[in-house]
Amino acid sequence: MLVPLFVHDGEVHVVFTKRRDDLRRHAGEISFPGGREDDTDRDLTHTALREAHEEIGLDPDDVEVVGALQPTPTVATGYSVYPFVGLIDPGKEWTLSANEVEHVLELSLPDLRAGYRRERLLRRGIPFRTDVYVVDDNLIWGATARILGDLLDRIDV
């Protein structure tokens, strides 16, 4: 998974995808660009860059990978997500995968920090309390929220 960051007007922004509502897994959720490792991928960094290119048209040559965050499990699907942080230039024009991505969100770290709270959610009939980030009408929760929390713990802006 790639956590693309860019600076615009002096603020760090993060790029997310809003997944299509008709997907079998994680439908309608906000996530970072990413997906499963292919047999042809050299390593997990290559997977993250390839998937970002497939999902939002981000050219791997336009990404400076600067590090990795903690591997993060998903609760519902049991995957382990390996997030890599990459710096990109602002003002990208996105080419969305029509099969996966509804749209791209570019949210500032200050807005994300301000949108942090604990909420009670209901998923598959089971209530639970969890960390969430809410910016406008966008709810970030689950593994994406845990990865974002790891990023925010490491970046002091």
Task: List C-alpha distances in Å: 29 to 33, 68, 93, 153.
Answer: 12, 22, 21, 23
Residues in the chain predicted with pLDDT less than 50, given as ranges, are none
Distance of alpha carbon 99 from alpha carbon 88, whole angstroms: 24
Domain boundaries, the chain: 2-154
Q: What is the pLDDT of residue 92?
A: 96
Q: What is the pLDDT of residue 23?
A: 60
Q: What is the pLDDT of residue 142?
A: 87
Q: In the CATH scheme, what architecture does the domain 2-154 have?
A: Alpha-Beta Complex (3.90)
Q: What is the pTM of this model?
A: 0.92
| Structure letter (DSSP) for residue 42 | S
